[in-house]
Structure 1
Amino acid sequence: MSCGGCSGAVERVLKKLEGVKSLDVSLESQSATIVTEPSVTYETILSTIKKTGKTVNSGEADGQSMSV
């Protein structure tokens, strides 16, 4: 995410995703921290972010590194 529009786009799509309890999208650290219901999979979050056209460089779920 290189601008406020980029981080805003990621935040908007995640807010619409059912099962998201909380999220913190940081332009400064170029990261997103998402807390979801157990029914929301890592793959669902990843594909939702990718729909914005943004590249995901790394991911983690429940403290475990995940593939992107």
Structure 2
Amino acid sequence: MTKHEFEVAMTCEGCSGAVTRILDKLEDVKFEIDLPKKLVWIESDRDVAFLTDTLKKCGKEVKYIGTK
């Protein structure tokens, strides 16, 4: 599985909680959230466009940084 790095405009625990709830619905996905750095790492075989669109469902600005 590829590990992708995203910058998500999270400002509080509620924001990271929203990201967690959205990503928990996906199967075969592992993820980590670094709230102070506003980073989300997603380990998945799904394509970047799908992962980006999924993260945008939390209502925050999402920027794809690259693979890690």
Query: Does structure 1 residue 60 correspond to structure 2 residue 65?
Result: yes
Query: Does structure 1 residue 46 correspond to structure 2 residue 52?
Result: yes
**Alignment equivalent of 2:14, drawn from 5, 16, 27:** 5
Q: Which is strand-richer, 1 or 2?
A: 2
Deviations 1:11-67 (A, max 9, x none): 1101111231x110111110100101x2x11111101110110111x313435xxxx
Root-mean-square deviation (Å): 1.3
Unaligned runs of 5+ in 1: 64-68
TM-score of the superposed pair, with normalisation by structure 1: 0.76
Identity of aligned residues (%): 37
Size of the alignment, in residue pairs?
Answer: 59
SS at match of 1:44: helix
Q: Distance in 1 between matches of 2:27 and 2:50?
A: 11
Q: Distance in 2 between matches of 1:61 and 1:45?
A: 12
Unaligned runs of 5+ in 2: 1-9
TM-score of the superposed pair, with normalisation by structure 2: 0.76
Runs of 4+ displaced beyond 6 Å: none
The amino acid across from 1:10 in the alignment is: V
Q: Distance in 2 between matches of 1:24 and 1:48?
A: 15
